Amino acid sequence: MNNKFSLSTIIRPHIQTLTPYSSARDEYTGKEGIFLDANENPYGSVVQDAYNRYPDPYQSAIKEKLAPIKGVRQSQIFLGNGSDEPIDLLVRATCTPGKDSILIMPPTYGMYEVSASINDVPLIKVPLTPDFQIDTDAVLAAITPDTKIIWVCSPNNPSGNLVQALAIQTLLEQFDGLVVVDEAYIDFADTESWTQQLDQYPNLVVLQTFSKAWGLASLRLGMCFASEELIRILNKIKPPYNISGPTQQLLLNALNEEEAKNQMVADIMRERDNLHAMLNDLSLVKKIYPSDANFLLVQFEEARSVMDYLLSEKIIVRDRSRVILCDGCLRITVGTNDENVAVVGALKKYQQNTVVA
């Protein structure tokens, strides 16, 4: 690598010397014994299940199962309350408020900007190209000595496409800060995850989620993969028990069902192709952008009017028409076959009514 990345120059000095909160489960990690160390209720819970004990603060059982699935070491995994928690922690760990900056490439996932705003961190915006790829030269020209993080969403939200690997590689090699690749939709893409490059690039961070392919959005559980050094920092500054016991148990059960997850992904990808074909037959559709995710970004004539009509039919899609580079676009999540037929049927009725009018 040509850059001069060193995590010690990225992490805020007071974070490096911070003494983290020490929980009772930090001091004793055993499972057997008379537990009189954490001021828990010894009689159990007011409901039948045993919720009176604090959960494992580092989710060791989950990481033991997850590591071979993802092809990483347990020590390279951080689990958060959704992907939003590691997003916020990464900003707080690296950026001094009012001084250091992060760089985003709109249109992209909105929480990068929200986390920056909450933490009073200046934001650099370099738009993607019209085909939703990284303008590498513009990004490298925009970074400053105080830029700590570049956020890359791939497959991108809301456009749905994978970002070119060479562009990400260039940023990793030429930027001295963290490059965070958000792979929330990677299960629906025909490509290898950037997690396989963690040992090659010490400044690489990869985010994934259980919300999409695993169908566990309600659990709010996100994954962050990074160097062991950075994972130790995130564990130092996270809330002591950030993942609840019931959530951990439900996820342990879910990890036994990887084959079922893979089947659902295959079904969604098949329906994505079917939905694309059906939409492509509609004259009111101007463009369907290529997708490596579980949704399609579709450009319509009079997108707002189309959106309102779908809402009147109790079909809810996402209006992205006010987002940069997405003029006239609605984002349509791939549903079941019946749901996809229903949305196309509604669009056909709208099209017919428009012609008659």
pLDDT at 357 over 60: no
Looking at per-residue confidence, does 20 or 148 come out higher? Answer: 148
Least confident of 4-13, 79-88, 151-160, 171-180: 4-13
Q: Is the peptide bond before 42 cis (omega within 30 degrees of 0)?
A: no
Distances (CA, A) of 181 to 14, 114, 225: 26, 17, 10
The full set of domain ranges for the chain reads: 7-257, 259-356
CA angle at 227 for the pair 238 and 207, rounded to the nearest 5°: 65
pLDDT at 21 over 90: no
| pLDDT class of 31 with cuts at 50, 70, 90 | confident
| pLDDT class of 83 with cuts at 50, 70, 90 | very high
Q: What is the pLDDT of residues 290-330, one digit of tens each?
A: 999 999 999 999 999 999 999 999 999 999 999 999 999 99
What pLDDT, on a 0 to 100 scale, did the predictor assign at position 355? 65
What pLDDT, on a 0 to 100 scale, did the predictor assign at position 43? 85
Alpha-carbon gap, residue 223 to 209, rounded angstroms: 6
Q: Taking residues 189-194, report their average pLDDT.
A: 97
Residue 222: strand, helix, or coil: strand
What pLDDT, on a 0 to 100 scale, did the predictor assign at position 46? 81
CATH architecture of 7-257: 3-Layer(aba) Sandwich (3.40)
pLDDT at 356 over 80: no
Going by C-alpha positions, the residue among 335, 177, 229 that lies closest to residue 343 is 335
pLDDT at 2 over 70: no
Going by C-alpha positions, the residue among 344, 164, 190 that lies closest to residue 266 is 190
**DSSP secondary structure string for all residues of 118-133:** HTT--EEE-PPPTTS-
Alpha-carbon gap, residue 282 to 313, rounded angstroms: 18
Going by C-alpha positions, the residue among 210, 208, 194 that lies closest to residue 252 is 210
Q: Across all residues in the chain, what is the average pLDDT? A: 95
pTM, two decimals, is: 0.94
Q: What is the pLDDT of residues 32-79, one digit of tens each?
A: 888 777 878 788 888 777 889 999 999 999 999 999 999 999 999 999
Q: What is the pLDDT of residues 241-265, one digit of tens each?
A: 999 999 999 999 999 999 999 999 9
CATH number of 259-356: 3.90.1150.10
- Share above pLDDT 70 across residues of the chain, in percent, rounded to a whole number: 99
Question: Which residues, 6+ apart, have CB-to-CB distance to 117 below 8 Å?
Answer: 123
Q: What is the pLDDT of residues 153-174, one digit of tens each?
A: 999 999 999 999 999 999 999 9
